[in-house]
Amino acid sequence: MSLFHRVGAWWTRATKPVVVKIDAGPTIHDLPLYSQYQRVGGPITPEQVTDAVRHADVGTMWPLVTLVNDARRKDGHLQAILGTREMALPSLPWEAFSFPGARRKDRKAAEWLTEALTQAAGGPQEGTTLHGLRGLLAHLQSGVLHGYALAETVCEKSGGLLWPVGWNTIGAHRVLFESRTGRPHWFDPTGKTQYPGIDLRAGFAPGKIIFYQPRVTGDEPTREGLARVLLWASLFRNWSLRDWVALGELAWKPWRQGVYKKGADKKDISELRDVLRQMSASGVALVPDTTELKVEWPAGNNQDGTHQGLMAFLAGEMSKAVLGQTLTTEAGERGARALGQVHDQIRHDILEFDAVSVAEVVRRDLIAPLIRRNFGPDVAVPGFRFLTEEAVDLLNFSQGVRNLTTSGLRVPAAWVRDRVGAPEPKDGEECLGPPDPSAGEVDIPIDPATGLPALPAKEPTP
């Protein structure tokens, strides 16, 4: 029986699961340190990786999750590109809104939702640490790597309403897919739940669980995510780096040669070998006159760059898998500004896709149950979206609008205001720009010497 199967058998000792209400406190508590999965470390073989992948294919996810997380801790480039994608979404502004034609109670529900999500700051509570909304969004983005992400909503009642306090983010290794149905389950490895754990769709009340499964590779749920794509590339980088370091230890140190006299016994030969090894640390050696030492520097010193080229190639492949391009992470000969802007646009397209995907699951698993619980079934569920519009280059945009309008194209002023973020002026408000004769405004001349309104000319004295 393999280690994975022995652990699986240990997991089966448990009690029956119960349905958890949305207004209950944290249900999925942090694991004690002795029960948390250990880092893999040591020399990882391709056979171990293949074994972990096979277990994941049939729903046991924790071996693969452990390997991927360990690879991320070892590879700075992998951490950088994953962190870039995971942190981009939480940094975006968001809004909860009512749809056109909404009734007054629908708009009130959207206003309450904005306040509720903004106030949910998280903090320590009942054996775990809750995260605020931005922490939740960053955690949900980890689903791009693992193929899924799980979080638990914790609420409290106040003023007759159920308010979210924060979110308990659950590690990917605590999810498995039931082998017969393929349905996702939460499983407690400390033995408090019976295998296969609690069904994430049926074992919790609506609004208690947020389960995000992004479309990344388009494969089956147990094979979704970038884990398999990145794991092999990262391991090849790790193996290449290990060989490169060993080569550096060898190539950048002088060759130490010892010559012993003919007829020397084994003791003399052994002592000479020890002296040569000690020289690598101290550079000093004392030998009898019956031996001879030679120190030579090797030529070449691995100047062909084989390891460096392989490392760079694999880094580029990982960048393309996570960000869709390479020029925003690596500077190279092809890093022209125009091409770099194209690559940055590709990354922006991925961000927009992530924003729409996460907004959908937040509305489905969090917002809709809260609105139904607090305001009833006849109130429209507010929309939720991230604002992904990039800042407009005012100089280029204004020149473009000027060229279009002088060419005879009529452009709505509301569209221009929306693009530059300028509000509609209120009645009587001081404004810049040309006067509006229909509002009784007159053009006031400006003194070019001071930049202030010019004083009226004095009438000549009779």
Phi, psi of 455 (to 5 degrees): -75, 145
Same domain (yes/no): 204, 147: yes
Which phi-psi region, left, alpha or beta, contains residue 225 (left: φ > 0; alpha: ψ -120 to 50)? left
Pair 139, 188 in one domain: yes
**pLDDT number for residue 11:** 40
- Name the H helices within 28-61: 46-57
pLDDT of the residue at 1? 43
Task: Give domain status of residue 231, yes or no.
Answer: yes
Residues 268 and 405 in one domain: no
Q: Are residues 277 and 159 part of one domain?
A: no
In a domain, 450, yes or no: no
Residue 251, C-beta contacts closer than 8 angstroms, at least 6 positions apart: 298, 300, 301, 302
The reply to whether 285 falls in a domain is: yes
pLDDT of residue 16: 38
Domain end call among 367, 390, 413: 390
Residues of the chain with pLDDT under 70: 1-26, 32-43, 127, 189-191, 246-257, 263, 279-305, 325-347, 390-393, 421, 428, 432-462
Q: Where are the alpha helices (DSSP H) in 252-391?
A: 266-282, 306-323, 337-362, 368-375
Does one domain contain both 316 and 282? no
In a domain, 445, yes or no: no
Do 72 and 100 have their domain in common? yes
Q: What is the C-alpha to C-alpha distance for residues 71 and 61, in angstroms, rounded to an integer? A: 16
First to last CA, the chain: 116
Percent of the chain at pLDDT > 90 equals: 26
Domain co-membership, 259 together with 247: no
188 and 207 housed in the same domain: yes
Same domain, 103 and 229: yes
Residue 447 lies in a domain: no
Answer yes or no: do 264 and 402 share one domain: no
Domain of 278?
255-296
Beta-sheet strands, E only, within 147-268: 149-158, 161-170, 175-177, 184-186, 198-199, 209-212, 255-260
What pLDDT score does 244 carry? 73
Note whether residue 449 is domain-resident. Answer: no
Quick one: 45 and 184 in the same domain? yes
Residues 176 and 56 in one domain: yes
What are the E-state strand segments in 82-228?
94-97, 123-125, 128-130, 149-158, 161-170, 175-177, 184-186, 198-199, 209-212
**46: helix, coil or strand?**
helix
Q: What is the pLDDT of residue 312?
A: 86
Q: Does residue 51 fall inside a structural domain?
A: yes
Residue 191 carries which side chain, given as an amino acid letter?
G
Question: Which of 375, 357, 352 is CA-nearest to residue 113?
Answer: 375
Q: Tell me how many domains the chain contains.
A: 3
Q: How far, in Å, CA of 49 to CA of 320, rounded?
A: 22
Measure the CA–CA gap between 114 and 111, rounded to whole angstroms.
Answer: 5
Residues 449 and 458: their CA atoms lie apart, in Å, by 18
- The answer to whether residue 382 is domain-embedded is yes
Of 46, 47, 52, whose CA–CA distance to 69 is shortest?
Answer: 52
Yes or no: say if 72 and 78 are a contact pair by the CB < 8 Å rule. Answer: yes
